[in-house]
Amino acid sequence: MKKQVFLAAGLLLASLGAQAQISLIPKAGVTLSSISYGDEANDQAAKVGFVGGIGVDIGIVENFFSVQPELLFIQKGEKYSAGGVETKATLNYLELPVLAKVSFGGELIKAYVNAGPSLSMGLTGKNKVEGGEMAGETDIRFGDPSNDGRRYLDSRFDFGLQFGGGVGIGIGPGAVLADVRYGLGLTDLTDANRSKNRAFAFTLGYAIPLSGK
């Protein structure tokens, strides 16, 4: 019975794969991020980071609507100055967005918009202070309030929403994709205040067609 179920599931997936337009999208780029503290004013500047990973575009309605899950390594955080002291926090996340994507245009040039939820898991972090008595670099820990002078965040997981769009230009068998996206974090990083991740991501990728009509 189990073999029959697995066989049926395999045949169903194979059938869907044969009908759907599926593309593999390796991508990389930069992030401009900050941390929002609710109504509190601050003098943050955008912190530059790296983003890279891979996505899978699964066509639902040919050349119009698709679903695009991704697995990314992404750097977020904040950068600000006060009293001649500059502080920069770098937060490294493994992120899984699942986006609904609507495309417009022809075969050569195509524009698109996308949006959907994302879940990020904190991996590591660094807090760097330049100037003043506290100058130096220390680790940022997730969910570890140990009293050793290091900065820590209560929440390792960050649920959020992403909105964006881009342009695809057909080159070779696939297309080069220039993508711009805004990530709106919804999870408080610490229990003590309303601090949430905010990040723009600018990436270049290449959509490699794997199957389709």
pLDDT of residue 137: 84
Q: Is residue 14 part of a domain?
A: no
Q: Is residue 170 part of a domain?
A: yes
pLDDT of residue 33: 96
pLDDT of residue 2: 46
pLDDT of residue 19: 58
**Token duo for residue 59:** 């066509």
Residue whose C-alpha is closest to residue 177's, from 113, 91, 83: 113
Q: What is the count of structural domains for the chain?
A: 1
pLDDT of residue 9: 45
**CA pair distance 113, 138, nearest whole angstrom:** 39
Q: How far lies 105's CA from each of 70, 110, 131, 137, 202, in Å?
A: 23, 4, 52, 49, 21
Kindly report, residue by residue over 22-35, the tens digit of the pLDDT.
Answer: 999 999 999 999 99
**Token duo for residue 38:** 């609710």
Q: Is residue 186 part of a domain?
A: yes
95 φ/ψ sector (left φ>0, alpha ψ -120 to 50, else beta): beta
Residues spanned by the domain of 190: 21-211
Q: Is residue 3 part of a domain?
A: no
147 φ/ψ sector (left φ>0, alpha ψ -120 to 50, else beta): beta
Phi and psi at residue 69, in whole multiples of 5°? -80, 150
Q: Which pTM value belongs to this model?
A: 0.84
| Burial zone of 40 (CB within 10 Å; 0-12 exposed, 13-18 middle, 19+ buried) | exposed
CATH number of the domain residue 65 falls in: 2.40.160.20
**CA pair distance 163, 32, nearest whole angstrom:** 15
Q: Is residue 177 part of a domain?
A: yes
Q: Is residue 97 part of a domain?
A: yes
Cβ atoms within 10 Å of 78's Cβ, excluding its own: 23
pLDDT of residue 85: 83
Stretches where the chain sits below pLDDT 70 are: 1-19, 39-43, 134, 144-150, 212-213
Kindly report, residue by residue over 76-106, the tens digit of the pLDDT.
Answer: 999 988 777 888 999 999 999 999 999 999 8
Q: Is residue 106 part of a domain?
A: yes
Q: Is residue 15 part of a domain?
A: no
pLDDT of residue 84: 78
Residue whose C-alpha is closest to residue 70's, from 30, 102, 9, 114: 114
